[in-house]
Amino acid sequence: MNILLHGINISAQFQTCILQLIQAFEEKGSNVKLTKNLFNSFRKKGGLSPIVTPLNSKNDLAGIDVVISIGGDGTLLDTISLIGAYEIPVLGINTGRMGFLATIAKEDIKAAVKDLLEGHYALEDRSLVRLESSVPLFKGLNFGLNEFTIHKRDTSSMITVHTYIDGDYLNSYWADGIIVSTPTGSTGYSLSCGGPLISPLAKNFVITPVSPHNLNVRPIVVSDDSEISFKIEGRSEKFLVSLDSRSAPIDASVELKVKKELFVAKLVKFHNYSFFDTLRQKLNWGYDMRN
């Protein structure tokens, strides 16, 4: 099996775990590569096996069987942007705190490696949101696993986002911004703005306003077969749009629409994993003296 490891700003206390992870794969006959920044950070400190090599270009992804994302959910989002349409399975090892996406804890790494190499896992296809715009944005990385967002910039004044579903007028949101979230992203920014939680395999988008001026405005769930388009107005000449952690300034003349991406993100899930267990643990559901 050909394995690629990806991490961002790995803490010193976790580097030993990564070396043990690499050793475990090598002992089972797997070939291991590291993304360039991760490889360079380890090469400076030493300790890497000489047969571990860096990923030199995206063309090398064609030979990778599994990518292991080491970090928090932000690292896994970055991993998905790296993989793109290759649809390589991704396993998230959690070095952070929340971990809705990166679900493997430090103490479970050995068992995860064993199950992965023995094929004791399933793949979940997670839908992505795709941005189409009248000007090039995000250097071609115009897809996201969590959400697309329009937000005000450099002003305290709210903006108006006229929103259309398949060409039909939905609403004009007077707000700080608007979020279009995938089911995966429903536990992220959308949740913090009052959006609903959605099962990861649901076929929906959530449109959630950010700090709306009208109190009767609420999030709405629509089919992910929909095409959602926008027109923006505001006192400022510039606005911000983002896909997951990537953001870019635009002006009101830019045409924007989002739809479901043609490819998916494939997440490795072991048979003891449950999305609902994760919800209860991360959101502290059930911690009530009456239960």
Can you give the pTM of this predicted structure? 0.92
Closest alpha carbon to 34 in 15, 59, 53, 14: 53
Catalytic entry in 73, 78, 224, 244: 73
Does residue 224 carry a catalytic annotation? Answer: no
Annotated binding residues, written as ranges, equal 73-74, 146-147, 176, 187-192
Ordered domains of the chain (ranges, CATH): 2-127+264-283 (3.40.50.10330), 129-260 (2.60.200.30)
In the prediction, which pLDDT does 288 show?
Answer: 66
Annotated binding residues for NAD(+), written as ranges, equal 73-74, 146-147, 176, 187-192
pLDDT in tens, the chain (291 residues): 999 999 988 777 788 888 888 988 988 899 999 999 889 888 777 667 788 899 988 899 999 999 999 988 999 999 999 999 999 999 999 886 657 888 788 888 888 999 999 999 999 999 999 999 999 999 989 999 999 999 998 777 899 999 999 999 999 999 999 999 999 999 999 999 999 999 999 999 999 999 999 889 999 999 999 999 999 998 888 899 999 989 999 999 999 999 999 999 999 999 888 888 888 887 888 776 565
In the prediction, which pLDDT does 195 show?
Answer: 97
Beta bridge partners of 223: 204
In the prediction, which pLDDT does 287 show?
Answer: 73
